[in-house]
Amino acid sequence: MINNKLKLAIQKNGRLTEETVSFLRSSGLEFESYQQRLFSTCRNFPLEIVYVRDDDISDYVESGAVDLGVVGQNLINEIRPNVKKLLNLRYGFCSLSLAVPKESTIKSVKELENKTIATSYPSSTEYFFKKQNIKVNIIKIKGSVEITPILGIASAIVDLVSTGSTLALNDLRIIEKLYDSEAVLLANPLSLKNEKKTKIIDKLLIRFKGVLSAKNYKYVMMNAPIQILPKIKKAIPGLKSPTISPLANPGWISIQSVIKEDVFWQTIEKLKKLGASDILVLPVEKLII
Ligand code: PRT
Ligand code: ZN
């Protein structure tokens, strides 16, 4: 650990770069970042950010060249490095999927027996077919996997899909999903055994978890007649109990609480039905539980 600083590797220039940089910034880390940088030093935290190709990140974390890394779960599933996953970061969502040409007669995985599959994820693909006892011929392609069926090289492909527009553009349809993926935070196992480093990693994790929890909640304020308070309390599965303050209008109160994103609209509908009004909703910046 040079200068007592922890090292974190992130993607230099790709799909995860922008969201990773913005996630780190929303965790309160201050640093400069621009395309030509090899690394940035945080001004307000003992952390150095190293910019590398995503394919190298898990190797760097495994070897201890860096302590932490941010990479897609898909690469972890494919490379299976000896690293410890610390957090799912809730961005970079995609799935590794098996697809065939739209006009192909193939409808199930079994029908691919003895066929050729093109992919940049040969290990994940091999594991998937082996598990089902289906023999296939896997060819590794570095880029533009989606054009291999048109070229007559493969009967099917296994590739990452997010919006599905690349598949649609190449007349391909998904027949099965191998797994879902998102950006994850990795750590070198030895760094997690080093007392000095774990102290800093723990501090960083509190920040990261604060940002991630905040994403799952909305802050709500509303006015309501005092007699419906017990019902409102039941309707809001908030953190603890809501904050209540009296209003100038006698018999009315203002209620403040947080609502989980996944039950947000159901809860708001319930509150309206119960008689809550002037419902104000705000994003939560950080939530330290
Ligand atoms: O240069 P470097 O090696 O660092 O980057 P890279 O080109 O190898 O990777 P990059 O930047 O493309 O992807 C980095 C990570 O982003 C991946 O490892 C995934 O974890 C994540 N991710 C999320 C994706 C996608 N979504 C994605 N859609 N990675 C790639 N794709 C590709 C996919 O391969 C296909 O070509 O986008 C196309 C499909 O996209 P849709 O939206 O048309 O379905
Ligand atoms: Zn790459």
Structural domains for the chain: 2-92+182-214 (3.40.190.10), 94-180 (3.40.190.10), 217-283 (3.30.70.120)
| Residue 168 near ligand 1, beta carbon < 6 Å | no
Give the per-residue pLDDT at 140. Answer: 98
How far from 181 is each of 13, 49, 99, 122, 209, CA to CA, in Å? 19, 23, 17, 16, 19
Does residue 238 have a pLDDT over 80? Answer: no
Give the per-residue pLDDT at 228. Answer: 93
- Compute the average pLDDT of residues 92-107: 96
The residue to mutate among 54, 76, 181, having the most atoms of ligand 1 within 8 angstroms of its beta carbon, is 54
Over residues 163-221, the pLDDT tens digits come to 999 999 999 999 999 999 999 999 999 999 999 999 999 999 999 999 999 988 999 99
118 strand-pairing partners: 139, 157
- 3-state DSSP assignment of residue 103: coil
Give the per-residue pLDDT at 239. Answer: 63
Does residue 156 have a pLDDT over 90? Answer: yes
Q: What is the pTM of this model?
A: 0.90
Give the separation between CA 155 and CA 286, rounded to whole angstroms. 48
Closest listed ligand to the CA of 184: 1
Instruction: Annotate 97-135 with b (16+ C-beta within 10 A) or e (fewer).
Output: bbbbbeebebeebeebeebbbbbbbbebbeebbeeeebe
User: Considering the chain, what is the average pLDDT of its residues?
Assistant: 94
The residue to mutate among 96, 161, 167, 181, having the most atoms of ligand 1 within 8 angstroms of its beta carbon, is 161
Q: State the virtual CA torsion across 88, 125, 8, 287 in degrees, nearest 10.
A: -10
Tell me the HSE value of 40 on the side-chain side, using a 13 A CA sphere: 22
Q: Compute the distance from residue 162 Cα to the ligand 1 centre, in Å.
A: 8
